[in-house]
Chain A
């Protein structure tokens, strides 16, 4: 009898035809749930339009004005109402702008590619390898986002700086005899830190897409002799392709448009196109040029996404899978024998090497990478020194006392809390319905409108949204403050909920819901008892992301909060005085409070979802 291990890899494609379509499997396109004609049609509208209308009100009109601005002339903080293309000419002929645009896009592409690989490894391992602790690790990854973004970025100075932890360790073990300069204040630091900042978001989105892959399918493929790579590229990647695409697009946009992180860690290389756009809307007072630059940037991002999408389509998974598979499984002959057969025949080190848990090891390293800055933040929040980095001059808890009693901190924390609550609630109310429409109902026109409304808040530079919201509020006579800022936050964070929930819904088997309906369950009951529990984790993940984004938002809030403040603005204000370990203490306090809230929330959810009544339902 043929044992699975005796299968020659050339036999696998034949088996594939009879079992799982390993080679060409694509994510199962969710079939449209049974249509009730006009009711479904109406339902589609109800799902899509609330968010689209909301996004259009808050973003669409200012965006239209941005377009108008870009073709008008400019003077100091004013516009000249005369058609001109001079702003675009300046953008395309000014070496400064094209250089910064290309630089930002290049950094975005590099960071996204690395993040996609790392993010996939972590999401895959958490889902299929760390089954028991996977969700806990994921929660940890998501919660780490809640510790102030600026503070976590600053922690990299302590790690990569001239006398930082890494240099110190390398010098101690004798690898180097003097500090390596390129680690900090340069492209290395920019790329490392951007990956660090946005990797958790990639992980969360990809993780959502992996949830509906049946581990039994992978086991079956393994039993049939499919190699590790073949299982990965033939089953997992195609089925998670929707989530992967979403994560890639999202990650690319975020990495390309971020200019705060590069500014903080990039030294003389830290200038990005976003910073120049901001300059035009603030000190430069040249709104038309800023508008043209913003629109060109948005256009360039779209072009890159389309080009990369085209390349991805051309290089289909089943083509490169084979070459990668051959490479990894060793079909390429070495002296007439494949590496695989060599390994099988006995050379034990090779066998051991082949059986090493690479994904698990890589994931542990990536998680260490994500955790290290947080550990640094916590440790250095107790540093007696006046600066939040090395050297560690002694232990003290005084920075916590200083922060709690500092002028403005309590009110800033209160404002941040209110904004986070409104942003999360609003994003779920608006985001979950549109996710259903996007995942389940594929009407092209509505999809395009919805996609534009979703990508808009992410792709339009924050400073542009901030200035636009400020101007609109002024025009309609609405006072700046928490209300206006809360609306802006809902707009900014809803795409995160939509991305995570849509990724989950797209890869979810609608057959379960249809079966329940076939068995007589009402739509509402199907939603309550089947759909909601299945997507609950994604909604929680999206909500955590939304909370993290709202908690860290600076660019828009800076212009809309009026005579109030939020924690990140307060932290920035502190930094302009002196960077102290107090900012680390702020991050730890925020993280502690978030952990407490999540723990209480988890306990309440367990109490209600775990109840006998719920289970019996």
Chain B
């Protein structure tokens, strides 16, 4: 029998818990029930579900909220997101924000275990299948976000934001991966074979991110749907990664690669994002970049199940789509605006004519499936394969 792990009621911050409930729960937690079947209670607190169907497609948390409520909202929302997306301009006189930071996408489901701990998430839309399967997120009504219209249609109408006909992810920033290399040490690699050259043995950096790196290799191998891989495609991907292993010097956290390139520890890095090559360049490397195994992502604002400040969260989302806020985030961050009016804030070397033109070269990817129900290799297998790849 499967034990759904998201069974606990919203009892987080600001939600009253009766004395009886508290005592009963405490007793369970103290072990009275833990080993006698009551363990299920504690286990249930860890959240999640075996179901692959989205659990958040019941009534949205904002179903009773009006536009007037959003306009009049006051308070502080709790955001779990990437630190580089936090800028003071996101806060207004009436709605502020407290941030907890993401270290990687993979920790999100565990971190959102406690209902009410967060109101909003900033995470890529491609991670929606996992969040939905774990019952962590709920839909949002775009009619309650007046600045929804500011979003470039290429993102606004993207099918990756919607599941079962409902909108879950409100686009916030976007980006694409590229290959960067230091011309002091190597010439332009134009193919995977070039990257396999003995000259680059032990001189390539890969981000320690199975989602990003394995998708990039799948694109390089020419798979039609790089994140929906059949078993044979997946095996070919792993074989390619294995063959590439001697070239790899380090699996690094994002953000470390400019220092590694500048110091000459690595000559090539991919997939890299945002202003990575500009930073390496300023630090002394001579960088060039190339669309190479490129694909795009869109980081979104997503309402967390159990959010306690729904009107405030909607007001926060709306304000984040103001061009001035988008510009501030672009200037600080590592990505591009979803509002075209803010493109002027993008560094000249990365500025683009239209997002659609970039997406034609680096398509948006929908995310890796949670289960193998449709015959595709699920994300858990990607993760295990990545662990083995790194370790053995």
Contact = CB atoms under 8 A, between A and B. Distances in A.
Given A181-B202, A185-B265, A564-B100, A474 B17 contact: no
Contacts of B115: 474
Interface in A460-509: 467, 470-477, 479-481
B384 interface: yes
Contact of B79 (A80, A96, A275, A563): A563
Nearest to A96: B388
B34 A65 contact: yes
Contacts of A75: 2, 50
A282 B254 contact: no
A285 interface: yes
B107 A161 contact: no
Interface string A417-447: 0000000000000000000000000000000
B113 interface: yes
B301 to A, nearest CB: 15
Nearest to A270: B251
Interface in A143-189: 157-158, 161-164, 179, 181, 184-185
The residue in A393, A471, A574 that gathers the most chain B C-beta atoms within 10 A of its C-beta is: A471
A474 B259 contact: no
A475 B262 contact: no
A14 interface: no
Interface in B245-268: 245, 248-251, 253-256, 258-259, 262-265
B282 interface: yes
B215 to A, nearest CB: 15
Contacts of B48: 76-78, 285
B98 A558 contact: no
A181 B86 CA distance: 38
B45 A285 contact: no
Contacts of B333: 577
Contacts of B39: 64-65, 68
A99 B109 CA distance: 28
Given A68-B39, A563-B118, A576-B255, A479 B12 contact: yes
B45 A95 contact: no
B145 interface: no
Contact of A60 (B13, B31, B282): B31
B114 A576 contact: no
B253 A387 contact: no
A570 B83 contact: yes
The residue in A69, A75, A481, A578 that gathers the most chain B C-beta atoms within 10 A of its C-beta is: A578
B32 to A, nearest CB: 10
Interface stretch (B19-27, B163-171, B288-296, B342-350): B19-27
Given A268-B251, A283-B106, A100 B34 contact: no
B263 A561 contact: no
Interface string A65-101: 1001100000111111110000000000001100110
A79 B5 contact: yes
A253 B384 CA distance: 26
Contacts of B15: 477
Nearest to B13: A479
Contacts of A480: 12-13, 114, 117
Given A271-B391, A281-B110, A64 B31 contact: yes
Contact of A475 (B25, B50, B109, B283): B25
The residue in B202, B249, B263, B371 that gathers the most chain A C-beta atoms within 10 A of its C-beta is: B263
A106 to B, nearest CB: 14
Contact of B279 (A76, A158, A275, A386): A386
The residue in A77, A78, A100, A270 that gathers the most chain B C-beta atoms within 10 A of its C-beta is: A77
A268 B248 contact: yes
B189 interface: no
B258 A475 contact: no
Interface string B40-70: 1111111111101000000000000000000
B238 interface: no
B35 to A, nearest CB: 6
Given A181-B202, A408-B99, A558-B103, A389 B259 contact: yes
Range, interface on chain A: 35 or more
Contact of A578 (B28, B130, B255, B263): B255
Contacts of A161: 263-265
B42 to A, nearest CB: 5
A591 interface: no
Interface residues of B, number: 105
Contacts of B245: 268
A475 B251 contact: no
A563 B121 CA distance: 11
The residue in A99, A163, A179, A282 that gathers the most chain B C-beta atoms within 10 A of its C-beta is: A282
A282 B106 contact: yes
B223 interface: no
A267 B250 contact: yes
Contacts of B392: 95-96, 99
A505 to B, nearest CB: 32
B258 A386 contact: yes
A474 B41 CA distance: 10
B390 interface: yes
A267 B249 contact: yes
B101 A569 contact: yes
B240 interface: no
B25 A476 contact: yes
A337 B386 CA distance: 63
B25 A100 contact: no
A472 B202 CA distance: 45
A554 to B, nearest CB: 8
Nearest to A467: B110
A428 B118 CA distance: 33
The residue in A163, A475, A479 that gathers the most chain B C-beta atoms within 10 A of its C-beta is: A475
A575 B265 contact: no
B137 to A, nearest CB: 13
Contacts of A286: 380
Nearest to B81: A573
A287 interface: yes
B100 A385 contact: no
A81 to B, nearest CB: 5
Given A387-B283, A407-B87, A283 B262 contact: no
A576 B50 contact: no
Interface in A286-300: 286-287
A30 interface: no
Contacts of A578: 255, 258, 275-276, 279, 334
B29 A475 contact: yes
A474 B113 CA distance: 8
A276 B258 contact: no
Given A477-B11, A477-B25, A76 B116 contact: no
B11 A100 contact: no
B325 to A, nearest CB: 13
A61 B34 contact: yes
A504 B78 CA distance: 46
Contacts of A271: 387, 390-391
A517 B100 CA distance: 55
Contacts of B113: 470-471, 474
A284 interface: yes
A470 B110 contact: yes
Closest 5 CB pairs of A and B: A283-B106, A77-B48, A573-B83, A563-B78, A477-B17
Given A283-B383, A284-B384, 9 more contacts: A61-B31, A271-B387, A282-B109, A467-B46, A470-B113, A471-B45, A559-B107, A575-B255, A576-B103
Interface of B: 1-5, 8, 11-15, 17, 21-22, 25-26, 28-31, 34-35, 39-50, 52, 78-80, 82-84, 86-88, 98-107, 109-111, 113-118, 130, 133-134, 202, 208, 210, 245, 248-251, 253-256, 258-259, 262-265, 275-276, 279-280, 282-284, 332-334, 370-371, 379-380, 383-384, 387-388, 390-392
16 contacts: A76-B52, A77-B134, A78-B49, A95-B392, A279-B387, A385-B284, A407-B87, A471-B42, A475-B8, A475-B28, A476-B17, A476-B29, A479-B12, A480-B13, A565-B99, A578-B334
